[in-house]
Amino acid sequence: MTKTKARTQLTSRYTEALDYAREQHAGQTRKRTQIPYLSHLLGVSALVLDHGGDEDQAIAGLLHDVIEDCGTQHEAPVRDRFGERVARIVLACTDGTQEGKAALDTPEAKFADWRRRKLAYLEHLRHTEADALLVSCCDKLHNARAIVADLEDPAVGVAVFDRFTAKRDGTLRYYHGLSDIFTTRGAAAARVLEAEVARMHALAGEAERFELV
């Protein structure tokens, strides 16, 4: 007999995390758009719930970028207010810090740092805990869907890659690597991400899928 997973209950902790995310990311927008950054955090959290995540994972979905985009000073309050498991997942979804990125002042330095961080993050995903793997996969899925939507928009198209440090080729390589790892590890949202990444490659005019090297 197949066991049915218990329905996830969202409590006041989730509301508190939503307020925390809204306050800390206030004024931030999606890359070169006027879309409030909170829309991404809400989207990731919703995907976590859609794919069977629990409240801690959904909260981590709301907070997954707070250290990377708002500063390392948020690690302690996230742990204090939302618990060790949430903090651990947030850290596992973090591949850089706002302070580290701000110190880079040339395109060459930014790309070298991006490549180093992404290679390290791909290796990290091969071993990270399953609860963090789901949140990370939902983060990448939400981002991939946004890229695909822009690729399908005649007003944007392949120019969407100009928003990214790694431009077209590096971005495609990175998402290929992510998809392979999530699929290999059996992340709950991996199949959906794989389809989005395949669509991304097709729309970008790149049928071949290749490694980030």
Give the model confidence (pLDDT) of 132-173 as tens digits: 999 999 999 999 999 999 999 999 999 999 999 999 999 999
- Does the pTM exceed 0.85? yes
Q: pLDDT value at position 1? A: 41
The residues spanned by each domain of the chain are 12-203
Task: Using only the alpha carbons of the chain, give its radius of gyration.
Answer: 17
Domain 12-203 CATH class label:
mainly alpha
Give the chain's end-to-end CA distance (angstroms, integer).
Answer: 46
Mean residue pLDDT of the chain comes to 91
Higher pLDDT, 119 or 29: 119
Higher pLDDT, 135 or 213: 135
- Distances in Å between the Cα of 120 and the Cα atoms of 7, 109, 177, 182, 208 are 35, 17, 12, 15, 23
Structure-token pair, residue 206: 């790149």
pLDDT digits (tens, 9 = 90+) for 18-43: 999 999 999 898 877 788 999 999 99
pLDDT at 3 over 50: no
The pLDDT confidence band at residue 2, using thresholds 50, 70 and 90, is very low
Burial tier of 108 (Cβ tally within 10 Å: 0-12, 13-18, 19+): exposed
| DSSP-assigned letter for residue 160 | G
- How far apart are the C-alpha atoms of 146 and 171, rounded to whole Å? 13
Write the DSSP assignment of 162-179 as a string of letters.
Answer: GGSTTHHHHHHHHHHHHH
